[in-house]
Amino acid sequence: MPEGPLIYRQRLTTRITHWLWAVSLFFLMLTGLQIFNAFPSLHIGKEAGFDYDNAILEIGAREVGGEVQGVTRILGAEFDTTGVLGLSDGEARAFPAALTIPSKTSLATGRIIHFFFAWVLVGTLAVWLVASALNGHLRQLIPSRADLRALPRDIADHARLRFHHTGEYSVLQKLAYASVLFVALPLMILTGLSMSPGFNAAAPWLLEVFGGRQTARTIHFLTMVALVGFFAVHMAMILLAGPLNEMRSILTGWYRTDGGKDA
């Protein structure tokens, strides 16, 4: 734990939107897997079906030697995933019940919950962008030239588990947060909108930008996987850098620094 002074690091709007994003993304991911189960394959191109061999991921079940087996195909490579994907608890479904909301097979319920939290995410991102632009928080997430020059040193410090508790984000934090806020979340929103028939009628050009509904669906899914990866790294960094100090910061705004001129 650092032993320097406490500073007010996280503003109220930052803390509120952080937790709204966390809740929204949790429900979006698990309801998204419920929706994926209704058509458990991802394709590149504008078409999909029996006449097209453009799937990059397929999860299903088949009978082998009188027994049902879960099978996952990735870019043509086939894997036995019985008990995890394709077949779990004796039920043939792409993702198991423990990873979907609702746990039972219900596409309609999954879509209703998914769309609700999708709009919560959109509204939260809009509020955060306006508030952060007004209070200066937005500028803190944009890496400067000096930050980029310090990137190799910051990578080396993280590799050695040397963390600096200061009042500013490190360059790796800036790049990670900026990638999520300005790339991943907008991409999730835009690809989600491009799969909506109603929005297609209002803005058909968006569907063309992503190369068709099937490609947009694949990008949507892969972006979700990237966000899960970000979450895993984010949690690991919190645990390594000092979970009590990090949680106090995002709950109350107050953060204990190392002290000295960098604080």
Q: Are residues 127 and 169 in the same domain?
A: yes
Question: Is the pLDDT assigned to residue 10 strictly greater than 80?
Answer: yes
pLDDT digits (tens, 9 = 90+) for 103-161: 999 999 999 999 999 999 999 999 999 999 999 889 889 999 999 999 999 999 999 98
Task: Write out the two tokens for 104.
Answer: 């039972």
CATH for 112: 1.20.950.20
Per the domain annotation, does 1 fall within a domain? no
Residue 82: per-residue pLDDT: 92
Measured distance CA(256)–CA(250) in Å, rounded: 12
Q: Are residues 140 and 47 in the same domain?
A: no
Q: CA quadruple 172, 174, 180, 182: dihedral positive or negative?
A: negative
Q: Looking at 47-56, 138-147, 197-206, 239-248, which range is the least confident one?
A: 47-56
Q: Which domain holds residue 67?
A: 41-93
Specify the pairing of strand 86-88 against strand 254-256: unpaired
Distances (CA, A) of 92 to 6, 68, 87, 96, 144: 53, 8, 4, 9, 51
Q: Are residues 210 and 242 in the same domain?
A: yes
Read off the pTM.
0.89
